[in-house]
Chains A and B, each alone.
Chain A
């Protein structure tokens, strides 16, 4: 960079001339810096301290704003389609916003039939996550301190070891035995009957002393699979098996107490009564025998009533609202 001040003035000019309400991303190429893209409606160029800035400071700012932006290929928050979905159901909006295989834009294209064929399946997956998150959030819980949709967990012993979770709930329990609290996991049996299971919760890096008592923290990682009950048994088996494998990976991650696979009840019943019956049974017996370091079962199944039907209805409700935009 030959003359920092010249580039800096050019940089400022582009910012100030850009309409921040525009939905078109602004791409900036300043000599000596990586290209940055601003497509965040909340971005305010007035936040930049141009009067006292110098090149290093500018470099830091660009890093900051570049990593504050949503992904380039999706609509911004103030886009009409985004606003309609957000008003329809913020949990569903949240699931689309962070999905790794679809987006608000992709959903919009899907409703117009321009998605390339896989949009509906992916949309139902994201909507199912949103509907399940809403169901969990609507049940009052004293122990639950936090819920995170699309969470990321890091193993603090090995930071390169990470997992992504559809829905993560954080629970706090007072210690009742030396070194342990007891945590309740709500799941179902293979017929959909609800079960509340008590698991041991050990002290960990998040435990804390509260005067005379100790509070231990545990996490439940939910993996949500929303499959159409009309799918072939082979497809349902593929989805179920994949879901179980993902849940096992999450359940045995550091600091996670239990992993729960959430599956549509009717879809599971169809699968259970199909030719895959013995394989499903074997898999369920396998997860039942998988124990964590406290000797408790760590992987569970939760069958949700009408998960697919509600997701499908929500998809068509959203479609009616956005397809003509």
Chain B
């Protein structure tokens, strides 16, 4: 009887958690291909994503980084994320993760995401470090930046980490390409 009661309680809890999670529009997780499909109808897309606080979009293919010195801007199977025009409209966003999706330059209005606490993205090799850093510094609530998988040189990454750590941002870049 006790076991049956526990199972019922557990089921009830999970159901409540699921409902509260989706009612609060806290989470969005999808492949980049599906994301592009949904973009075809921008209005409804904004209706769906407008109140999301966490967005996680991932490149479903394995990316292969050739060495940093081989000069490619993107790794094999790497994709540029080119839909910041949609993302910057999601003002209540607290967490944005673009897994294995590459960014050359963040748009100037990325700074509008002033609720953003966690950010994951990959910078391409030709990313303008100074410009991107200036935008990242403008995100006053940013606490955690994941740059693993970026095609930046070690010195560029050190520079970003040192500059952002002055603002209390934790920069996670334990895995990087070796550069001379």
Contacts and interface: CB of A to CB of B under 8 A. Distances in A.
Given A64-B130, A206-B172, A210-B56, A145 B177 contact: no
Interface in B94-133: 97, 99-100, 126, 129-130
B37 to A, nearest CB: 20
Interface of B: 14, 17-18, 21, 27, 29, 56, 58, 62-71, 76, 97, 99-100, 126, 129-130, 148-149, 153-156, 172-180
Interface string A127-167: 00000010001001100111111111111100000001000
Given A94-B66, A98-B178, A154 B153 contact: no
A90 B153 contact: no
A258 interface: no
Contacts of A150: 67-68, 177-178
A86, A94, A95, A154: which has the most chain B beta carbons within 10 Å?
A94
A242 interface: no
Interface of A: 42, 60, 64, 67-68, 70-71, 74, 77, 86, 90-91, 93-95, 97-98, 133, 137, 140-141, 144-156, 164, 168, 170, 205-206, 208, 210-212, 219, 254-255
Contacts of B175: 146, 148, 151-153, 168, 170, 219
A211 B21 contact: yes
Contacts of B76: 137
Contact of A152 (B27, B71, B156, B177): B177
A146 B122 CA distance: 12
B173 to A, nearest CB: 7
13 contacts: A42-B71, A71-B180, A77-B71, A97-B66, A97-B67, A146-B65, A147-B64, A147-B65, A148-B177, A150-B67, A152-B154, A164-B178, A170-B149
Contact of B174 (A141, A144, A156): A156
Nearest to B29: A210
Given A68-B153, A152-B175, 11 more contacts: A42-B71, A64-B156, A70-B69, A71-B69, A94-B66, A98-B70, A98-B180, A144-B62, A146-B64, A150-B68, A154-B176
